[in-house]
Amino acid sequence: MSDLNISIKNWSEADRPREKLLNKGKKILTDAELMAILIGSGSRNESAVSLCKRILASADINLNNVSRFSVQQLIKFKGIGEAKAISIVASLELGRRQKHQTVPVKPIIKSSNDVFLSMQPILGDLHHEEFWVLFLNNSNKVLQEKMMSSGGQTGTHIDIRLIFKTALEISAIAIILVHNHPSGKLEPSAADKQMTNNIKKGAETLSLKVLDHLIVTEKDYYSFADNGVL
């Protein structure tokens, strides 16, 4: 019996599809290995990877052809039951839909007003404080907008470590801090200034730029950078 017919559980950990994806990334896996993760297991005499290779071979090694298989066609392969067939059909349909969806254009931040226009609809009319961070690449394109904390009417606690963790995970080059004042007062408090300074000092150790900190109200905003206090 060939190695391909041995249960995946008996393979070396480096060769198992799930472990390969976790340790080396999704792109290193073959189509058969990705499909094997979907179906979970093969049969007594055939591994999931070997089974998926057979399915692909019957479709001329072309995922587009596999995507045309119905549940009834897939269950004709020994080792593929209804549940496994449904998993394959559903996942390939998701891939087809994703391919045809428009990728949203991330905004490029050129000024503090760009930040205000982006965040005012989110923060402007809240009755409690929220603290958000915009994570940017080296072209000032927004990679992600993320709420880091939500609090009461007069303040919110920020875990600075979570900001840096997110920045490292998505390879951000710069960040912009944004929070709202439900009271409508635009002037930063002493706590706002201290928090900004703490984040800026921490960011410097990671070569991460803090470009600005905006305080947003319903109709206006205050920019630390524009006012020279960053």
Single-letter residue type at 5: N
Going along the chain from its start, the domains and CATH numbers come out as 3-100 (no CATH), 112-223 (3.40.140.10)
* 25 backbone φψ class: left, alpha, beta (φ>0; ψ -120 to 50): left
Quick check: 106 and 58 in contact, CB under 8 A?
no
Give pLDDT, residue 204. Answer: 95
Span 119-168, pLDDT tens digits: 999 998 888 999 999 999 999 999 999 999 987 655 567 899 999 999 99
What does the block give as tokens for 39?
A: 């179906």
Give pLDDT, residue 107. Answer: 84
Query: What's the distance, Cα to Cα, between the start and end of the chain in Å?
Result: 68
**pTM exceeds 0.75, yes or no:** no
Q: What is the C-alpha to C-alpha distance for residues 5 and 7, in angstroms, rounded to an integer?
A: 6
- pLDDT of residue 15 exceeding 70, the answer is no
- pLDDT of residue 1 exceeding 50, the answer is no
The secondary structure element, H or E, covering residue 144 is: strand 142-150
Q: Where are the strands (E) in 116-219, listed by range?
A: 130-136, 142-150, 174-180, 209-216
